[in-house]
Homo-oligomer: A and B are copies of this chain.
Amino acid sequence: MADSVIVNSVKPCIILVNPQLGENIGTAARAMANFGLGDMRIVDPRDGWPNIRAREAASGADWVIEGASVHDGLAAATGDLHHIYATTARPRDMVKPVMSPEEAAADMTARMAGGQSCGIAFGRERWGLNNDEIALCDTMVMAPVDPEFASLNIAQAVLLVSYEWYKLHARSLGMSSGEAPPVTASGLIMPDTRPANKDELAGFFKHLEGELDTAGFFKSRTNRPTMIRNLRNMFHRASLTEQEVRTLRGVISSLVRHHLRPKPNRDKG
């Protein structure tokens, strides 16, 4: 883990969610190798792993295939990351920033210069990422494509994002000797702390949602998934630091605990 943090802090990882065809995994690996990327994470590959067709389609990018990790669910694949980009073919009904591959490359470059680990998630061949998966992500990425024929092959989507990253990376390597100034993508100054990683964020969500269940916040079971998604989206957008996540957990604990104090005449909330 210590090693991978170093790697991730300078290069983004590519996360393939529930890929159906080994060929596409292989072609995506090849595209990654073309642009200097090596950390592939595969979530629930339909045909299991390893996959001989993936190996063949990688056309020699064997180290990407061999080094790929396999995970059970997107959350498990991304716990160490600070910022996840979700590629989507169409706008979703969610309040999240949307960037082009070019903008995302600039954004992740700035974040990684500030020490954050970033990953880009790609969905299934036919229907992409589902809404729960997108809710786990921070930023949506949409490639500019002809609306008349918008379906990008998954490996081609990997190619475009990797290409934009590499263009910027190659350019910045030409200008500086690797020591970029510590500025976060959103221009935040983060003194004495660091961005929360996804595990910490997941712990916070579990805490909040558990208390809301106890409190009967979700009036109907059918609305619950949507409301949870909306709540997660809000807090994702805030780009919380690890310290802030702890503060928010303190807020929750404080709000739910105060009835234990002997204050029968307190003001009503």
Contact = CB atoms under 8 A, between A and B. Distances in A.
B189 A34 contact: no
A6 interface: no
Contacts of A149: 30, 33-34, 60-61
Interface in A160-202: 160, 163, 166-167, 170, 175, 177, 179, 181, 183, 186-193
A21 B269 CA distance: 44
Interface residues of A, number: 88
Copies of this protein chain in the complex? 2
B255 A244 contact: no
A144 B166 contact: yes
Interface stretch (A47-55, A114-122, A207-215): A207-215
Contacts of A227: 247
A143 B36 CA distance: 13
Given A95-B190, A98-B183, A146-B35, A258 B256 contact: yes
Interface stretch (A12-20, A66-74, A75-83, A232-240): A232-240
A128 to B, nearest CB: 15
B159 A144 contact: no
A231 interface: yes
A176 B144 CA distance: 11
Interface string A143-154: 111111111110
A234 B238 contact: yes
Contact of A254 (B150, B216, B254): B216
A96 interface: yes
B97 A153 contact: no
A191 to B, nearest CB: 5
A183 to B, nearest CB: 7
A221 interface: no
- Of A27, A91, A99, A166, chain B has the most CB atoms within 10 Å of the CB of A91
